[in-house]
Every structure is written in structure tokens, then in C-alpha cells.
Structure 1
Amino acid sequence: MAGIEQVTKPSAGHYCVQLEDNPDIRKLVPTATLQYRAFDYGVRIAMQPNSACGNRTDTFLVNTGTSGTYADAGFSIVVS
């Protein structure tokens, strides 16, 4: 599996994760875990091309937040 090429943050709680070697993200399985946050925080992953990330097939969107509001939070991710 390729590593991460780059991560960009287009807005609060939105992270675009671009993978090396241009894999098709629709064929991958991600797992994300928040780091050092209260229990009311959440993390979600969109494994399809997303307009926030330029609709690229090698880039997926990770959202973090709390109480229905996007908010920045650290996370770990594994993609297989």
C-alpha cells in the first residue's frame, strides 16, 4: 500500500488526504481514530471523490467535529 502524499485542510474539521501512487480510493478500507479528545467528538471518512478535495480519485475527505459542528481534531488513520 502506498503512503500519504500530502494532507491539506480546506476548512475547520475538513482534511483532504492524498495517497501516493494514485490508487483508486473507492477500492480501499480506512480506519480512523481521534487522538486526545472528549467523547463527544467524532471522525468521519468519505471514501469517494469529494469536491472539497478537488474530486480526485486518490484523495479522500476526513471530517472531525463535535455537537454537529466541524472542529479541528488530531486523528490517526490506517488504509488497507
Structure 2
Amino acid sequence: MIIRCSCADEGYTTMTVLDLTRAQWRTSRRSSGNGNCVEVAGVDGRVAVRDSKDRPGPVLVFPRASWRQFVAGIDALA
């Protein structure tokens, strides 16, 4: 799968083409296996996220630093 993504990095927006064909998707170790999961893959310094139930569907792409901040925020709530 090759996608076009709009990334807001460092204060400006760029359009990038990402090749997800060889992305190695994974779920959290905490995943219960009931299908209510997201899968993540590291791609070209970014993190791609998709619904495990809709693999050919939409993919969200985040700068790696933004993804780390998001995960840290979730962990802080636990």
C-alpha cells in the first residue's frame, strides 16, 4: 500500500508519499485479542496507525515525536 500523507512537521505542512508495502505492523503487548486494537508501524521516521479490523482502510501518520507524546499522555492517565 502506498499512501499520500499530509504531515505538519516543524510548523509547516508537507505532502509525502509513504510506501507501506513492507511495513511491519504490530499491536500492543497489552492487546486482548478481541479485535478492538490499532496496529502501528514505523515508516521513514514516522509512525503509521491503522484499525486492526480494517487493514486496507485509512492510515493515520504521525511524526515519531508526536506519537511518543501521545503515548506518554495515555500512560499518564493509567
Q: TM-score range by the shorter chain?
A: 0.3 to 0.5
TM-score when normalising by structure 2: 0.32
Q: Which has the larger radius of gyration?
A: 2
**What TM-score do the two structures reach when normalised by structure 1?**
0.32
